[in-house]
Each structure stands twice: as structure tokens, then as C-alpha cells.
Structure 1
Amino acid sequence: MSFMADEEGAVSDEEEIAVGPADIEAAWDVLKEHHRRTPIILSRSLSEMTGSNVYLKFENKQRSGSYKFRGAFVKIASLSDAEREKGVIAASTGNNALAVARAASMLGVKSVVVVPTGMALPRAEVARYYGAEVRYFGGSYGEANLEAERISKDEGYNLIHPYDDEKVIAGQGTIGIELLEDLPEVDTVLVPIGGGALISGIAIAIKAKNPDAHIIGVQASGAAPQEVPSPDGQHVTIRRVTSIADDITIRMPGKITMPIIRKMVDTVVTVDEDEIARAFVFLLERHKTVAEGAGAVPTAAILFDEVNHLGKNVVCLISGGNLDINNIGKIIRQGLTKAGRILQIRVQMEDRPGRLYNLLESISEGGANILEVSHRRDVPDLPYGLVQLNLTFETRDEDHAHQLLSLIVTAPGTDLVEAE
């Protein structure tokens, strides 16, 4: 689904937006001595694939591991001395907790983060390391956020919203200032989109200087709120959100960010879970960097040709790298499997001496590396005289996988039951 901005990103009289270029310039003045200026590097692989100059902007190397540090720092820095004395509170499933904790510690402000009970323990421990008090509540971000709102009201903490706040949007927009300084002739910027603060800020900053630039939002199919408008044109809450890209799995867009997205963002595209996993593997192998799921979605959009007319100079934003380390192996396995580089098969073969040897010899001659073999005779409904084998092996690519399957189906006394 696409949203087309007004000509030159202009805002109509009917719908004004809450943040302007001056707000982002002011945020830059606050932030520029306190953040890390993250690198932007030309990707030869993506450039060769597309015929464009495709650059990667590594916000996974930002303080706290993601772009969210920018908005959190600018927001907390904007508080009065009296407000800072009361401290800040935020609800989060990951990046916002780390960003608020890190920014608050740098500014000498007490912080509390409310997280769902199922949040990855390593993230909670990092938030504590940064100095935050971590409180567990509920089983989802929504429940944790309601608790944070209650605590803010009862105990006086200043609530830091992850995306629907003018100062947060302006802080995230400082990425756009850096992009223009490093790559003034940028034609297209691909940005992960969830609640919308990141893409809103970047769009405002870039279109103020380069109104012809295209800003493209990329969302995950497991949580695509930009695609769920109600009959009256308003966006509704998605009941269930789940994705590898958990930092952009929000149930509905922000009230402040949505008008900006409508007016300033040229297109929103969607990538699926397998594409995100394959982009994760691509970034790990080709660029030696760990991107969280949300950070990999712009690269996925390039790899799987979701965007038309990229232009000459393109930037993919790697928004963060705070991936739950317990899930890395699973994502790599998914990405390799969907790329045809790991093949899992189930076969039934005659239970005779030499049959297993013949099959494994065929696989070996085909140039595959066998990773796992499971040999079973006690499978329900397995015909008498047969044995079932589950095999996993490593292949070069999809063509190689198809070649191996051809060898397997011609092996004596062997029937291929399933391949994945």
C-alpha cells in the first residue's frame, strides 16, 4: 500500500503537522555533542544488484544500540529542572527502554522502565546497567504502557512516549541532517516504519533541503498498521502483532506522526518474515554487522525488489542492532533455509543394508555438506519394510538445492516425502 505526499512534500491547509525543520535544527543543536555520528558506507553488493549507489547508514552503532537514543535524549534534555527532579518513565519491549535509560543517565535524571514480563532478559539487564529501575508488568507493550501511565500520574514521573511526541520526532529527524551533510545528492531513503517518529523526522529534515527526494517507509507484514484504515479513513488498532522486526510491531500509528506520514512520505512498502531473515543474513555476511529485525527491513525491500525507481543515490537505514541473542541462531537458520542454502528433507527408503550409504553417497557427490541425520523405524503409519530418514544439509543456493533433490529422487529404493 502506498501513501503519496503532496507536491514537494507540502502540507495542506486542512491538516497541519506538529514538527517543522526548525524543530529538527534545534534538536540537532541539543544532540550533536552527545551522540555518536554513525557511519554511512556504500554497499557494493546492493549497488551492483540495483544499478544505483546504495548506502547503508549504521544506526545500530548508535548509543544504546539504536536510533531511539536521539529522540530520548532530546526529549529528556527539553525538561525543566523541576521536571528532571521528578524523573522519567517509559514503557518498552526493548529499544525505548535502553534509549531512555542511557539518555537519562547521561543527563543525570532518574529513570524507570516498565517492560512486559516476557521481555528478553539481556535487554532488561542492559537497561539496569545504564542505571534504570526496571519494573515488570503485563504480557504486552500495551499493558506495560498503561502501567507506566498510571505510575506517571501517581508518582509524578515524566512519561517518555516512544514515538508520538514532537521532541522525540525532532530528535529522530537529526538522522536526516547527517544524511544531507554526508550525501547531499541523496535521491531515496528507505526507513523502517512502525509508530512513525523515525520516518517523520527524517522526511521533514530531508524534504526541507531536497523536496524531490523520495522517502520510503518499510514495514513488516506481521505488523503493518499503515495498511489497516477504517472505513472513515482513520487507522484502527491491530489485535495481534508479531514479527522478527519487533521494534516496529505497533498496533496503531501515532496521532502526531500519521499526518506527517500522509504528507511527507512518498510510499510505504511491506516485507515478510522470510525476506527480513534473508536480509539479516545478507547484512551479517556481506557487511559484518548485526541488524535487529526492524533494522533489516529496508535492506529486505531492496533485496526483494519492493521499490520502483530508486534513483541514483539510495540510503538504507539500519535503525538498530538490539537483537535478542537467543534468537540469532533461529533467524540465521530461517534466512539460510529460505535462500535455499539449508535443505531439510524427509525420505522413506527400503530397510536394507547399503541403502543409507547409497543415499549419503549421492548427496556427497552432489557437493552438499550434511548437517543432521535422523534414522527412524518407529514412525506411525510407516509401511512395513521401510525406514524414515530426516536429513538436513547445507547447499550453495536454490539451484544447487534443486540439483540435489534430483539426485535424491533417483537414488535406489528411496522415496522423497517432503522437502523444505
Structure 2
Amino acid sequence: LLLVEFAEDDPEENSRRLAGLHDTMAELGFRWDDPARREGGVLDAPDQALQAKITEVRTQGLNIMMSMKSAGKPVSFVEDCAVHLEDLADFTDRLTALFARHGTTGTWYAHASVGLLHVRPVLNLREEADVRALRAIAEEAFDIVAEYKGSHSGEHGDGIVRSEFHEKMFGARMVRSFEQVKDRFDPDGVLNPGKIVRAPKMDDRSLFRYPPQYRHQPVETRLDWSGWPAGLHGAVEMCNNNGACRKLAGGAMCPSYRVTRNERDVTRGRANTLRLALTGQLGPDALTSDEMAETLKLCVSCKACKRECPMSVDMAAMKVEVAAARAKKHGLSLRDRLVAHLPRYAPLAARAPWLANARDRLPGVAALSQRVAGLAADRPLPAWSRRPFREEGGDAEADVILFADTFNRWFEPGHLRDAVTVMRAA
């Protein structure tokens, strides 16, 4: 899919260019099967709302690709290769063939107009065979780029994955100059070592997110994680550290991080902690530890991450798994039981609301409840209503069914009564 934009000041000139694009594509053999449409294989998008949607797809291109649930993921290491525009078609054909020889495919997106398509081969870097393919693809791809007199870093920085190949790209003399500049400004090598100069091997697995000793530890789950390879482990590993959860404006993710500004309290921080725990890197029983509970404590289970994270990381569901594992090992506290069984004992407590509300009225009772049941003494509990919502039944032919939740039924029944009044009036 090629997105072409004409943005001249004169709308008529844009229309002429669009018509010319139709003709060009038709000459190349790209035609619509529907004779009612103009020939040329071009879908016009003059509407600004549609343009905005197309732009959003382009903006989310990387995230769409990275949301693949397979064990292999698009890996960034040759994605910045740029060649002259007239060589781009041949270059992409040769890369596609290169990937096929190594048993994989690539994902493509970004700005073709400048001779640069961000291509990421799909590899599973937990497997030694794919690590070998990573190395071979990099060497061959950079050789192809050199043939076209292109650049292996057309847009972004090089980092560890490309710095090793600088001498092939720039020559030995230039790389020695890089080293001299680095040493002059950073003689002790403390600023971002291993980048640009004196880089380690790009396939050194000790530097990978998944080092050779990386192993999934067996874990019993309560929810269905079959949609991901490796189940819960695979779902947690969907977090690719893109940092969308660290945004401070727009959307709702992640509300606790927006308050604390602490990496531990952001979806990414929680996912990385879970990943390390599930692979044994935080020691035995890390999943059920107090530290893990503390890490997840401020997750309010709003599910904004599932909706707004490009990878749809569902931290609320993951928190359920941690809570279930912790409960199985340590059991439930009195506070947990009081909250969980509230719907069961609420009808009994509501018969004597004055007694149920005594906790916040009698001296010393709140402090006692904190020691015994873990209910904070400095925060009042919801007050039991003297007139709980007990209306039941109704018209069997009614168009609306009102489900009375526990809190509104026994604590704030006015909301339910107002809802009934409105619905009956309608």
C-alpha cells in the first residue's frame, strides 16, 4: 500500500496531479476490477476525515506490526537502510529474497519517497537459529546497501546493532577519527559506551533482552492465556518498552504513573517486573512476593492499558493472576474476605445499620479495625443506608432491566431509586 500525498496550494493543481497518478498506475497495469471506478489502482481520499484516519494508520504502523502474537517478532537492525529512490524497488526485492533464504519474512512501513522503507525481519531471538539468521541477514543486507552506495543508517541512530559495521560503511580512517573525537570528549568512556565506536558484536546474546539462560518458569494460571504463544509469559512479553504508558496527557493510561511519576507504577515497569519474575530472574517465589504485590498495588485495574497500549498489554488481568497466585500460597486476609463476601452478609448487616456504622462513631473502634482487619482507621467506611434498595420484580414485558449493584443497593440506594423514577417517566 503506497500512500501518495499532493499538497500544493492550488486545489486544482492537486486534482490534476491526482488524475496523472491514476493514468500512471493504469499504464503500469494496476486497475480496479470494478468498472465504475476510475482506472489506475488509485483510491482517492479528498475527505479530510478519511485523510486523518489514513495518517493515523501510518503513525501506528510500527505498533501494528509489533502487536503480532507469534513467538517471532519484527526485529529492528536493518530497518534504517536507505538507497537512492530509483534503486528502492530492486533493493526491497533483494531483501525479500534474503529473508526467504533464512526462512522468514519482513514487515515494511514508512517513507518510500526518500528511498527508505523500515523493514524488520520476523525472528524469535530466544532461538539460537534465529540469532544466527540475525547475523547473516545483517551482513548480507549491509553489503547490498554498499553496492547501491546507500547508508545503513538513513534516519535513526546506530547503537549496538549497527556500530559494529561502521568501518565497512565509512572506512577505517573515518572510524579512527570517530574514536579520537570520543576519547577527547569522554576519556574515561562513561557516556553511552559501546555505541558508534568500539562496539561489541551485535549478536552477543548476553546483551539481548532474552539472554541464553532466559527460561520461562512454570506457573499455574486462572485466566485463559491461550491466545498468546507461551500463555501468560507470552502476554507479558508483548510489552516491547515503547513507553506509550508514560504519556502525561490524553487518554487515561496510566493513571497511577501520572501521579507518582515512578517507573515502577507504569504499565511498562509492571510488565518488566512480571517478566523478570516469570523467568526466575528475581529469585524463587518472586511472583507471590511482597515486592511484587507492592509493584502492582497502585494498578487500579482501569484497563486503559489494554485499550491504549499499542501492544494491548492487559495489566488488570495480569494483576488478577498475581493476586490468585499470592492467595493460593498465603491465603486470604480478613480484609480480603470482608470485601469479597460483602454481597452475602450485606442483607444481615443492613437490618441493624446503626450497629454496622458504629465503627466510625465509637472511639477506638476504627483503630481496632485497622489492627485486626486492615481497614484504614483514618478513612471512614461507606455508611450503611437505613432504607436500602429492596424493590424487586416489575413488569415482565419491560424494555429495561436495572441491575442493582451491591454498593448502591446497601449504601447509596438513592441512585437506584432515581434511575427507576427516570425510566418509569420515560
Place the TM-score, normalised by the shorter chain, in its bin: under 0.3
Q: Which has the higher strand share?
A: 1
Q: Which has the higher helix share?
A: 2
Q: Which has the higher contact order (CA 8 A, sep 6+)?
A: 1
Larger Rg: 2
